[in-house]
Amino acid sequence: MSRNARLLALVLAAGVLFAGGVRGDDTKPYTGAACTATVDDFYQDEVWAKVGAPICLTCHKKGGDAEESKFILVDPRRSEGVARDEAMRQNREAFARMARLKVKDQSRLLLKVVGDLNHGGSDVLKPDSAGYRILTSFVRRVNTPPTGTPSPDLMARDANAPPFFNGIVMVDDRRLLRRVTLSLAGRLPTDAEFAAVARDGLKELPSLLDSIMTEDAFYDRLREGFNDIFLTAGLDGNPEASVLSYEHFSTTRLWISKFDLSHIADAKAQQQGRYKLANDYRKALISEPMKLVEHIVRNDRPFTEIVTADFIMVTPYSARGYGVYDEVRSRFKNPDDPFEAIPVKLKALVGRTRDDNQESATGFYPHAGLLSTFQYLRRYPTTETNRNRLRARMYYQHFLGVDVLELAARVSDAAAVSAKFEIPTMQASECVVCHKTLDPVAGLFQDYWKFEGVYGRRKGGWFKDMFGPGFEGENLPPVERWRALQWLGERTAKDPRFAVAMVEHVYSILTGRKVLLPPKDLDDPLFVSRRRAYWEQRRQVEAITAHFVQSGFNLKTAFKEWVVSDFYRVDGLATVVSDPRRRAELDDIGLVRMLSPEQVERKVAAVFGERWGKLTDQLAMLYGGIDSKEVTERATDPSGAMGAIQRILSNDVACRNVARDFARPAAERRLFPHIEPDVIPGASPDGDAAIRRTIVSLHERILGRFDAPDSAEVERTWKLFAGIVKDAHEQKAFDKREAYACRQGNPPPPDDPHYTIRAWRGVVTYLLRRHEFLYE
């Protein structure tokens, strides 16, 4: 037995322990009357939320490490509605039964959790921990029903607490519309859209979103957003070699080198053409997984197809690589478009030797949505020591929303456990608790082993010192092995956690951050506040999930529901909040998202008509972008380097656009349609009014603010504009033309004898530096 199996074990074990914790208390507060005994708040909010779900449920469940014990809990996440309530009630009764049992006048429950009475999980709580105090209180309540009010510090919820969004200002409908069109379609709202929300308010938004979600720009954003999650664009190597294995595609994958470009006479141009062909081919191959996401959403297909689709998306170029181009050519609208993607079912892979042929009962490759794409398999490769555990971990994270490694419980002596057991992953309780869940899924990927994990069975068969292939306690029937990932996909689609995870993915695309995790530190004085924040968000996630499921897993439903939710519409506070408990509750409230490099470029294009074009490559990385390989998380706060880039952007974009806008006929201008350079502040009331109207218009266009001409905000900008003009006229002399760098373009911009064009440029620079432009 490789020691690796033993050693990978220890913390993975803890990972699943936590995984239970992450989701374990994802239960709605008990409100129904479907059972005989109510699940009281103390049990639910204290015992279950803080101890039962995150600790006990990990092992004390069917399929868990303690399934042979007499204390068996039911995972409420695996059921919905009344069944979930029933699970909570059963769990409460199981706890109560344990609380009544005594050993020599001592509570059996309290002895077990500190590791006495041969508790298999050893000491899961310390006697001085908050969790232990909660159980002590519970045991006392069960054995001596309380006559008074429980101690306030253990009360989970403040019944008198005001509604969660009390005192929160929601964004008005116009600004919400702008937020949505910029976020999802990279454009400003149209006049018709503004008119629609002005007429019908928020209720009009879903239908507007239906329309927005038909635009190509939305699908660009969708693919970008899901790549941030799945990171499939970050696969290593040249895709024609890494995605398409030599063993199965040796005669087709390098079609580029033989492609007839003889119609290009010039040799150098022909070589350039071949380079472009190769680049487009690579891009097409890399983009296929996200094209699958697009295909599902664009066609209103159930998003469960992300794990069940029995096809992949291929383009005219990648189809040649797969060797299926002649078969599918007629289905392309434009066979010369390298990126048009259509669904295609591949035949079972044929290797260079019979042993490398893919087993298939149908003759087709057993597609299972994203799970079985070559790109996903290569992005998360396997090794002899890793044994597909990375894939299993990513599967849980991507499709069930469980990150098994994010929070690990401490093992008192991990090294000793490693040394004590021959196969810790199967024998040591600290390890088994996780590996019993993780390793079966790893086993489902077993036939995607050779050729760096694209496809191919492992010589000598699958590892015997691991829990066998399966999913959540169900073994993979041998007859299903050839389609193991399809088998997994089918179960994934039915798992209630899948829908929740997808709704959470949509939240992360819209907000740039993950949903809240339940607070873990029971001794944190702000624990109750943090947990309330978590619960409020959880309730919203669950409500949207229910609608998402009802809609047949149409992902557009999740987008629409999030957009109109309070969480997305929060805009600010009505009054200053200084109470630390309330501030803790509101800590994560509000969109307040720094735009990514891609989003900044799209916003510049939306406001000014063209992208800045410089937030690419190195500068994009410096601005917090990702490469999907080494750097996989976007920066959420601006560093000084990013502040410098913001200043360059504001200077440069204003430089490019202000004088050029004045060069256009007034009716064609984006920024200054109602003012001319000869309007000087203070020269006339009409002129001043025109300047203020222009400022209002710029505030709306660049910042998304709808300010009154006499507002403080407009006054500040007025002061800037008028101050610059005044300062200029106090100079001994100034050039009567715009700066050379800023008077490019055709037609040439007008002269600037009054310095007003440059003053407007200063205004635009100022606005582009503002929070309202750089954040959403």
Three-state secondary structure call for residue 331 = helix
422 scored as a contact of other proteins (CB under 8 A) = no
Cα 606 to Cα 181, 457, 599, 772: the distances in Å are 10, 51, 10, 15
194 scored as a contact of other proteins (CB under 8 A) = no
615 scored as a contact of other proteins (CB under 8 A) = no
> Least Å distance between CB 508 and other proteins?
15
Q: What's the rounded Cα separation, in Å, for the pair 390 and 448?
A: 13
Per-residue 3-state assignment (H helix, E strand, C coil) for 207-247: HHHHHHCCCHHHHHHHHHHHHHHHCHHHCCCCHHHHCCCHH
130 scored as a contact of other proteins (CB under 8 A) = no
Q: Which is nearer to other proteins, 181 or 765 (CB)?
A: 765
Applying CB under 8 A, among 739, 744, 748, 751 the residue interacting with other proteins is 739
Q: Look-up: residue for tokens 């410089």? A: 614
> Rule CB under 8 A: which of 361-390 touch other proteins?
383-386
CB 577 within 8 A of CB 586: yes
Applying CB under 8 A, among 570, 607, 659, 714 the residue interacting with other proteins is 570
> Least Å distance between CB 603 and other proteins?
15
Q: What's the rounded Cα separation, in Å, for the pair 258 and 173?
A: 56
Q: Which is nearer to other proteins, 135 or 703 (CB)?
A: 703
229 scored as a contact of other proteins (CB under 8 A) = no
> By CB under 8 A, which span of 91-99, 130-138, 411-419, 553-561 interacts with other proteins?
411-419
> By CB under 8 A, which span of 87-95, 252-260, 489-497, 635-643 interacts with other proteins?
635-643
Residues whose CB is less than 8 angstroms from the CB of residue 496 and which lie 6 or more positions away in sequence, other chains included: 77, 78, 79, 80
12 scored as a contact of other proteins (CB under 8 A) = yes
- Helix runs in 114-215, H state only: 130-143, 173-180, 191-200, 205-212
Applying CB under 8 A, among 216, 355, 587, 676 the residue interacting with other proteins is 587
736 scored as a contact of other proteins (CB under 8 A) = no
543 scored as a contact of other proteins (CB under 8 A) = no
Please, how many CA atoms are within 13 Å of residue 407, restricted to the half-sphere of its CB? 15
Applying CB under 8 A, among 254, 484, 724, 757 the residue interacting with other proteins is 724
Applying CB under 8 A, among 437, 545, 599, 717 the residue interacting with other proteins is 717
Give the total of residues touching other proteins (CB under 8 A).
100
> Least Å distance between CB 233 and other proteins?
18
Q: Which is nearer to other proteins, 281 or 773 (CB)?
A: 773
Q: What's the rounded Cα separation, in Å, for the pair 303 and 301?
A: 6
Three-state secondary structure call for residue 316 = helix
Residue 189 φ/ψ region, left for φ over 0, alpha for ψ in the -120 to 50 degree band, beta for the rest = beta
- Angle at 124 (CA atoms; ends 119, 129), nearest 5 degrees: 135
CB 522 within 8 A of CB 50: yes
DSSP letter assigned to residue 73: B
415 scored as a contact of other proteins (CB under 8 A) = yes
Q: Which is nearer to other proteins, 400 or 714 (CB)?
A: 714
Applying CB under 8 A, among 101, 217, 408, 690 the residue interacting with other proteins is 408
Applying CB under 8 A, among 35, 405, 546, 605 the residue interacting with other proteins is 405
631 scored as a contact of other proteins (CB under 8 A) = yes
> Rule CB under 8 A: which of 14-43 touch other proteins?
14-15, 18
Can you say whether the dihedral through the CA atoms of 356, 359, 362, 366 is positive or negative? negative
461 scored as a contact of other proteins (CB under 8 A) = no
Please, how many CA atoms are within 13 Å of residue 624, restricted to the half-sphere of its CB? 22
> By CB under 8 A, which span of 158-166, 493-501, 674-682, 710-718 interacts with other proteins?
710-718
> Least Å distance between CB 771 and other proteins?
5
577 scored as a contact of other proteins (CB under 8 A) = yes
> Rule CB under 8 A: which of 277-316 touch other proteins?
none
Applying CB under 8 A, among 277, 407, 543, 605 the residue interacting with other proteins is 407
Q: Which is nearer to other proteins, 273 or 638 (CB)?
A: 638
Residue type, 162: P
> Least Å distance between CB 647 and other proteins?
4
Q: Which is nearer to other proteins, 80 or 566 (CB)?
A: 566
- Helix runs in 106-190, H state only: 108-113, 130-143, 173-180
Q: Look-up: residue for tokens 């990702």? A: 626
Burial 348-370 (b: 16+ CB within 10 A, else e): bbebeeeebebeeeeeebbbbbb
Q: How far apart are the first and last CA of the chain?
A: 53
Applying CB under 8 A, among 296, 349, 368, 594 the residue interacting with other proteins is 594
> Least Å distance between CB 677 and other proteins?
16
> By CB under 8 A, which span of 45-53, 79-87, 685-693, 733-741 interacts with other proteins?
733-741
619 scored as a contact of other proteins (CB under 8 A) = yes
Residue 597: alpha-carbon gap to chain centroid: 17
> Rule CB under 8 A: which of 648-677 touch other proteins?
648, 651-652, 654-655
521 scored as a contact of other proteins (CB under 8 A) = yes
Q: What's the rounded Cα separation, in Å, for the pair 55 and 433?
A: 11
